[in-house]
Amino acid sequence: MDRFPRSSQTIVQPRAGLQTFMAQVYGWMTCGLLLTAFVAWYSANNENLMMYIFSSRFVFFGLIIAQLAVVFILSGLVHKLSPAVATALFMLYSALTGLTLSSIFLVYTYASIASTFVVTAGMFGVMSLYGYTTKRDLSGWGNILFMALIGLIIASLVNFWLKSPALMWAVTYIGVIVFVGLTAYDTQKLKTLGEQIDVSDRGNLRKYSILGALTLYLDFINLFLMLLRIFGNRR
């Protein structure tokens, strides 16, 4: 391949393909967030449903396990899934997340949830824009952020039994840094993927835009939850 394209068409088409891919990624991510918000709000206002979810650890942890299973299936088998199945799984994951997050409407005030969402959207937008536009190679961040994420998960599991406020706040503030970094890192990875994907293959375009949406959705939700611990006003 020539280093310098000989016609404007070879420049415009990949750029248009990237824009199409990223537009679908952000579009599906937004759909997922809206579904999560609706399910969480609806569940919080349905006393019977809340009792069913949170009165039994079996049910609650069953939902968590189902979420993990969906993520592993989408991440590991996306190339084998049909576009419709990939989309359905992402919507299912978004709905399951809404069920498990419904308790935030009982713990925090609506105003603080809304304001934290706005702050999260702003931070996410800035870091995603940075990841998309920067000329700096962020691939070196990957291993560091992944190890930090594993550390956060382990610390959170340990603190499930320790109930240490100090450890909880350490996880929270470090978590904000980690998910801010992951937002930029993942956006750059998706940009690279978008430059390579054949947008004329509508099936692959849909499947990988769903996978990209899931990736950024997870960054957004986790960043939101960390910030809610910091800024949320309890009822």
Asked if pLDDT for residue 27 goes beyond 70, the answer is yes
Question: What is the model's pLDDT at position 14?
Answer: 57
Query: What's the rounded mean pLDDT across residues 175-202?
Result: 94
C-alpha distances (whole Å) from 231 to each of 28, 36, 103, 117, 213 are 27, 20, 16, 10, 26
Question: pLDDT for 49-65, tens place per residue?
Answer: 999 999 988 999 999 99
pTM: 0.91
d(CA 93, CA 111) in angstroms, rounded, equals 26
Question: What is the model's pLDDT at position 117?
Answer: 97
Asked if pLDDT for residue 223 goes beyond 80, the answer is yes
Asked if pLDDT for residue 152 goes beyond 80, the answer is yes
Question: What is the model's pLDDT at position 2?
Answer: 37
Query: What's the rounded mean pLDDT across residues 86-104?
Result: 97
Domain boundaries along the sequence of the chain: 8-231
Query: What's the rounded mean pLDDT across residues 206-223?
Result: 97
Question: What is the model's pLDDT at position 19?
Answer: 92
234, β-bridge pairs: 108
